[in-house]
Amino acid sequence: MTDWTWEYNPSEEHVAGGLAPGVVAEIERMATELATLGVDAAKVGRPLDRGGGLREFDILGGRGFISFLAVARHHCVYVCNIAWYG
């Protein structure tokens, strides 16, 4: 277990506003799991050839993806964008 947390960046309204509650719940569950990984969250998802930077991870069987940053100095995973194809 790590002391990492997660947040929406810049805000929940901006990133997740208008999405179905079930989609938001799944994104928040995944963000919690990414925070549990701590510094290793910077190695999850795309791009596959390097770690760090803005990462992308498929959600709900490829029906969308989240973009996130794992910032070690803040001990935080920031969910920056959600693309939902429904």
Cα(72)–Cα(65) distance, rounded to whole angstroms? 22
Give pLDDT tens digits for 27-39. Answer: 999 999 999 999 9
**pTM of this prediction?**
0.92
User: What is the C-alpha separation between 67 and 51, in angstroms, rounded?
Assistant: 14
pLDDT at 6: 98
CATH code of 48's domain: 3.30.2310
pLDDT at residue number 2: 74
Range of the structural domain that residue 27 is part of: 5-84
In this prediction, residue 47 has a pLDDT band, given cuts at 50, 70 and 90, of very high
Structural domains counted in the chain: 1
For residue 86, the model assigns a pLDDT of: 78
Structure confidence at residue 1 (pLDDT): 61
